[in-house]
Amino acid sequence: MLLYLILAAAFFQPSGQRGAALVDAGIELSHAGRFNEAADKFVQALALDPNLAEAHYLLGLIRQQDGRADAALQSFRAALKLNPRYTAAQARVCELDTVFARVRETGYDKALISCRRAVLLDPRDPEPHFHIGWIQTKLGSHADAIQEFTTVLRLDPKFSRVRFELAMAYIDSRDIDRAIPLLKEVVAAEPGNTNARFQLGVALVKKGDCDAAVPWLETGSESAQKHYLLAGCFKKMNREAEAASEFAKVKQSREGAEASMQAKYLAALAHQKLVAGELDKAIADYRAALALVKDPTIAIDLAVALLKKGEAQEVLRMLAAESDPLARYQVALAYTKLGRPDEARSALELALREKPGFVEAWYLLGVNALAQEKHHEADRALGMAVRLRPDEPAIRLAWAEALQKLGKAQEAREQRQLAAKLPK
Amino acid sequence: MTQYTRRGWLAALAAPLTVGAQGIASRGVRPQPRGKPSGLPFHARFSDIADAAGLRLPVTYGDVSNSDYILETIGCGAAVFDYDNDGWLDIFLLSGTRRQGAPKDASNRLYKNNRDGTFTDVTAKAGLLRQGWASAVTVGDYNNDGHEDLFITYWGQNVLYRNNGDGTFTDVTKEAGLLESVKRWGSGCTFVDYDRDGHLDLFVANYLEFDFAAVPGPGENAHCSWKGIPVYCGPRGLPPGRFSLYRNNGEGVFTDVSASAGVAKARRYGMTAVAADFDNDGWPDIYVACDSTPSLLFRNQHDGTFSEEGLERGVALNEDGMEQAGMGLGIGDYNLDGNLDIFKTHFTDDTSILYRNDGKGNFADATISSGLGVETRYVGWGAGIVDLDNDGLPDLFLVTGNVYTNVEEKLPSYPHRTPRVVFRNLGGGKFEELIEQAGPGIAEAHSSRGCAFGDFDNDGDIDVLVVNLNEPPSLLRNDVTGGNHWIKVKLIGVKSNRSAIGARVVARYGGKVQAQEVLAQSSFYAVDDRRLHFGLGQQRTVDLEIRWPSGGKEVFSNVKADRIITVKEGIGLL
Torsion angle of the four alpha carbons A384, A390, A392, A393, in this order, in degrees rounded to the nearest 10: 90
Rounded Cα distance, A44 and A47, in Å: 5
Tens of pLDDT, residues A342-384: 999 999 999 999 998 899 999 999 999 999 999 999 999 999 9
Kindly write down the DSSP assignment for every residue of A33-69, as one continuous string: T-HHHHHHHHHHHHHH-TT-HHHHHHHHHHHHHTT-H
pLDDT of residue A141: 85
Rounded Cα distance, A223 and B25, in Å: 10
Contact B223 A264 (CB under 8 A): yes
Q: Which residues in chain A are contacts of B34 at CB distance < 8 A?
A: none
Closest CA to A320 of A334, A308, A331, A336: A331
pLDDT > 50? residue A313: yes
B490, B503 contact by CB (below 8 A): no
pLDDT > 80? residue A8: no
Closest CA to B200 of B430, B519, B537: B519
pLDDT > 70? residue A418: yes
Which amino acid is present at B242? R
pLDDT of residue B26: 34
Contact B13 A250 (CB under 8 A): no
Tens of pLDDT, residues A96-150: 999 988 887 778 889 999 999 999 999 999 999 999 999 998 887 889 999 999 9
Tens of pLDDT, residues A152-181: 999 999 998 899 999 999 988 889 999 999
Q: How many CB atoms sit inside 10 A of residue B540's CB?
A: 12
Which candidate from A99, A223, A261 shows the least CB-CB separation from B17? A99
ipTM tops 0.90: no
Those of residues 38-97 in A touching chain B at CB distance below 8 A are: 54, 61-62, 64-65, 67, 69, 88, 91, 95-96
B contact test, residue of A96, A106, A138, A186 with most B CBs within 10 A: A106
> Dmax of chain A from CA atoms?
82
Starting at the edge strand found earlier in the chain, the sheet holding B474-478 runs B46-48, B474-478, B463-468, B448-454
Q: Which residues in chain B are contacts of A269 at CB distance < 8 A?
A: 216, 221
Rounded Cα distance, B278 and B339, in Å: 7
Per-residue pLDDT of chain B (574 residues; tens, 9 = 90+): 333 333 333 333 323 333 332 222 333 467 777 888 999 999 999 999 999 999 999 999 999 888 899 999 999 999 999 999 999 999 999 999 999 999 989 999 999 999 999 999 999 999 999 999 999 999 999 999 999 999 999 999 999 999 999 999 999 999 999 999 899 999 999 999 999 999 999 999 999 999 998 888 898 876 788 888 899 999 988 889 999 999 999 999 999 999 999 999 999 999 999 999 999 999 999 999 999 999 999 999 999 999 999 999 999 999 989 999 999 999 999 999 999 999 999 999 999 999 999 999 999 999 999 999 999 999 999 999 999 999 999 999 999 999 998 899 988 989 999 999 999 999 999 999 999 899 999 999 999 999 999 999 999 999 999 999 999 999 999 999 999 999 999 999 999 999 999 999 999 999 999 999 999 999 999 999 999 999 999 999 999 999 999 999 999 999 999 999 999 999 999 9
**What average pLDDT does this structure show over A73-89?**
96
Burial class (CB in 10 A: 0-12, 13-18, 19+), B227: middle
Those of residues 1-30 in A touching chain B at CB distance below 8 A are: 20, 23-24, 27-28, 30
Strands B563-568 and B485-492: parallel
Starting at the edge strand found earlier in the chain, the sheet holding B430-434 runs B380-386, B395-400, B421-427, B430-434
pLDDT of residue B201: 98
A325 sits in which H/E element: helix A325-337
Contact A24 B228 (CB under 8 A): no
Q: What is the DSSP code (8-state) at residue B256? A: E
**Average pLDDT of chain A, as a whole number:** 91
> b/e per residue, A67-103, with b = 16+ CB within 10 A?
ebbebbbbbbbbbbebeeebbbbbbbbbbbbbbbbbe
**What average pLDDT does this structure show over A14-32?**
85
Query: What pLDDT band is residue A262 in, cutting at 50, 70 and 90?
Result: confident
For A330, phi then psi, to 5°, come to -65, -40
Closest CA to B341 of B349, B332, B350, B351: B332
For B244, phi then psi, to 5°, come to -130, 145
Give the 3-state secondary structure of residue B121: strand
Give the 3-state secondary structure of residue A145: helix
Rounded Cα distance, B450 and B526, in Å: 6
Query: What pLDDT band is residue A14 in, cutting at 50, 70 and 90?
Result: low
pLDDT of residue B334: 98
Rounded Cα distance, B394 and B540, in Å: 18
> b/e per residue, B88-110, with b = 16+ CB within 10 A?
bbbbbbbbbbbeeebeeebbbbb
B286 sits in which H/E element: strand B285-290
Q: Can you give the length of chain A in residues?
A: 424
Which residues lie below 8 Å from residue A149, measured CB to CB, with a gap of 6+? A129, A130, A133, A162, A165, A166, A169
B contact test, residue of A202, A210, A239 with most B CBs within 10 A: A202
